Amino acid sequence: MEVSSAMDLKLLRRCLLEELGRLHHSTLSVGELLPDIERAIGWQGMLDPVAQCEARQLETFRRMFKRFESVPAENFGPALAGLLAEVREDLSRQSNVYPPAAVDFRLLAGLAKLLHYKIAVLRSAILAARLIGTREIEEEFERCLGEESENIGLLIDLAGNTLHLCCADSSDEIARAMTHTHAG
């Protein structure tokens, strides 16, 4: 597909910058949430690969803004705001509401949702970059897409382990309750 006019090119550039802004805000937000999530879960360093990736990507997106002589917009949209609110709510939950492993699972799942959001935005940005003809930027977005896919794999593994622990804890509690009921 070819861009047919200067107006089309301007519109595509605007779309690319909007997606870049969403990527910037979501990457910045994930980076800010990671230490709190690690602290809440008690797994210091376990999410370091994700944190390092987010830091690299943030620098990449900042360089792209400089290249386009632009800055990220302040409004990053309701979808990201909703996902961030969900993770922040889970961070504030008391452990007496959910078993600790369930809270851990919810935090990891929330983080995975944020990365899935980034993947959706990256796919849109890749398309816009391709249509504009900026192969270098397209390749940077594709690299980021691959990194986010790897990060989601890590999070899914960790979330699966915590869910397994949550279920095991529940089974132990049920078994203890059954033993106590039958003994009494």
Domain extent for 100: 6-183
Structural domain contains residue 75: yes
For residue range 120-162, list pLDDT tens digits in order: 999 999 999 999 999 999 999 999 999 999 999 999 988 888 8
In terms of Cβ atoms closer than 10 Å to its own Cβ (0-12, 13-18, 19+), residue 50 is buried
Report how many domains make up the chain.
1
Strands (E), 55-159: none
What is the average pLDDT score of the chain?
85
pLDDT band at 36 (very low <50, low <70, confident <90, very high): very high
Q: Rounded to the nearest 5 degrees, what angle is found at the Cα of 111, between the Cα atoms of 141 and 97?
A: 170
Decide if pLDDT at 41 tops 90. no
Which helix or strand (DSSP H or E) is residue 112 part of? helix 100-132
State the CATH number of the domain containing residue 90. 1.20.1260.10
Residue 1 forms part of a structural domain: no
Flag whether 138 is in a domain. Answer: yes
**pLDDT at residue 137, rounded to an integer:** 94
Q: Is the pTM of this model over 0.85?
A: no
Q: What is the pLDDT of residues 94-122, one digit of tens each?
A: 556 677 777 888 899 999 999 999 999 99
The whole-number pLDDT of residue 184 equals 45
Cβ contacts of 147 within 8 Å, gap of 6 or more: 53, 56, 57
pLDDT above 70 (res 175): no
Which token pair is 171?
């089974």
